[in-house]
């Protein structure tokens, strides 16, 4: 078949109801376009006269944050350098905060040459604090781990002049450090020392749930019935319920036991086994808040590493968990 001849394109006439575009209408449209361009310049790849804008995304984000902070708080925030007087005295290694309150009440503390007896006094960074004529300065924080031997009591001073754990760490530093928590005289194992009062309070407090693992040796085999009762979440002593995080019994003679718990109650491990009629012959703290006795002989001490300090402060709630670096490749 032959192709039919193409007809002329049909062009309908404009209805009389529409108004023809005049020069005035076109001028108004062009004017509007120019105004829009002045307000917002939009990049188009087809317009060669307009260069593609370049942005530093980090700068943009920082500016946005700065503007937002200024809008929310027009008054700039100034980081406070004030410290409570009793805390300042404690940080200087003079005494504990409670003892510092006593010194303040007795009028033994001077600030800038004047006696201060106000308990809530805030020390400024430029203030000169004196005690017994000596200028007090904030000490650097020290953290020491001791593998305590038998026969030493956990205290800073003993009126009966018995051997104390302070004798074992006396050469560790010039700063005044003290034990965090306590171990009985005949209990061996890990014990922390520091002059960081806030850290010591957090770690020793039951709410911090500090992990403790002990190795126990009994005077006779541990009965399976007693083991079953001890594993019961409802197990209680006279001063309340006790929850164990872990319990392991040596099946050979059933005298050696591993026990893990977070409780900070006095003599808790000994009291647990005494409750069932056993005598604890050996009690050794092998793990404390993730710290172990590795390469630390009995009676010796060492400083905590920076990584150990970060971990301990995170576990005690003094520091946020460090974020893991992103694995995404940089563009």
- Indicate if the pLDDT at residue 193 is higher than 80: yes
Go through 42-77 and write b for each residue having 16 or more CB atoms within 10 A of its CB, e for each that does not.
eeeeeeeeeeeeeeeeeeeeeeeeeeeeeeeeeeee
Span 263-272, pLDDT tens digits: 878 899 999 9
pLDDT given at position 242: 85
Span 238-259, pLDDT tens digits: 888 888 999 999 999 999 999 9
pLDDT given at position 51: 47
Confidence of residue 311 (pLDDT cuts 50, 70, 90): confident
Percent of the chain with pLDDT over 70: 71
Q: Is position 184 annotated as part of the catalytic site?
A: yes
Are the C-beta atoms of 90 and 197 separated by less than 8 Å?
yes
- Indicate if the pLDDT at residue 148 is higher than 90: yes
Could you tell me which of 112, 120, 117 has the C-alpha nearest to residue 87?
A: 120
Span 76-110, pLDDT tens digits: 443 456 889 988 888 787 877 888 899 999 999 99
Confidence of residue 42 (pLDDT cuts 50, 70, 90): very low
- Indicate if the pLDDT at residue 173 is higher than 50: yes
pLDDT given at position 325: 46
Residue of 100 and 46 predicted with greater confidence:
100
Cα 312 from Cα 291, distance rounded (Å): 9
Lowest mean pLDDT among 33-37, 104-108, 117-121: 33-37
- Report the chain's mean pLDDT, rounded to a whole number: 80
C-alpha triplet 236, 289, 100: angle, nearest 5°? 90
pLDDT given at position 319: 57
Percent of the chain with pLDDT over 90: 44
Cα 276 from Cα 231, distance rounded (Å): 13
Q: What is the CA radius of gyration of the chain?
A: 37
pLDDT given at position 310: 86
Q: Of 101, 127, 184, 253, which one is the catalytic site residue? A: 184
Domains defined along the chain, listed by start: 83-135 (3.10.290.10), 143-205+294-315 (3.30.70.580), 211-288 (3.30.70.1560)
Terminal alpha carbon distance of the chain: 62
Q: Give the number of residues written for the chain.
A: 331
Q: Would you give the DSSP letter of residue 24?
A: H
Confidence of residue 318 (pLDDT cuts 50, 70, 90): low
């Amino acid at each position: 078949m032959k192709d039919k001849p193409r007809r002329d394109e049909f062009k309908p006439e404009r209805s009389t109801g529409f108004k023809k575009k005049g020069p005035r209408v076109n001028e108004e449209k062009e004017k509007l376009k120019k105004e829009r361009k002045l307000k917002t310049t939009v990049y188009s790849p087809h317009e060669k006269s307009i260069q593609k804008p370049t942005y530093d995304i980090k700068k943009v984000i920082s500016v946005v944050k700065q503007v937002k902070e200024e809008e929310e708080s027009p008054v700039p925030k100034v980081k406070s350098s004030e410290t409570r007087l009793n805390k300042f005295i404690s940080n200087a290694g003079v005494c504990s905060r409670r003892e510092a309150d006593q010194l303040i009440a007795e009028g033994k503390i001077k600030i800038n040459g004047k006696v201060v007896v106000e308990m809530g006094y805030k020390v400024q960074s430029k203030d000169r604090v004196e005690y017994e004529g000596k200028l007090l300065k904030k000490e650097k924080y020290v953290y020491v781990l001791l593998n305590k031997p038998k026969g030493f009591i956990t205290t800073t001073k003993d009126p009966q002049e018995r051997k104390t754990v302070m004798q074992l760490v006396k050469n560790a530093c010039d700063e005044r450090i003290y034990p965090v928590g306590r171990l009985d005289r005949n209990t061996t194992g890990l014990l922390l020392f520091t002059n960081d009062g806030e850290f010591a309070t957090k770690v020793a407090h039951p709410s911090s749930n500090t992990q403790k693992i002990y190795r126990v040796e009994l005077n006779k085999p541990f009965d399976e019935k007693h083991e079953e009762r001890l594993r019961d979440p409802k197990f209680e002593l006279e001063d309340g319920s006790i929850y164990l995080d872990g319990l392991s019994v040596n099946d050979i003679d059933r005298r050696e036991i591993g026990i893990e718990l977070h409780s900070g109650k006095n003599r808790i491990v000994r009291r647990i086994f005494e409750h069932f009629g056993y005598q604890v012959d050996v009690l050794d703290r092998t793990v404390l808040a993730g710290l172990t006795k590795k390469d630390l002989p009995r009676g010796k001490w060492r400083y905590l590493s920076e990584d150990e300090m970060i971990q301990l402060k995170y576990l005690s709630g003094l520091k946020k968990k460090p974020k893991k670096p992103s694995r995404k490749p940089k563009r």
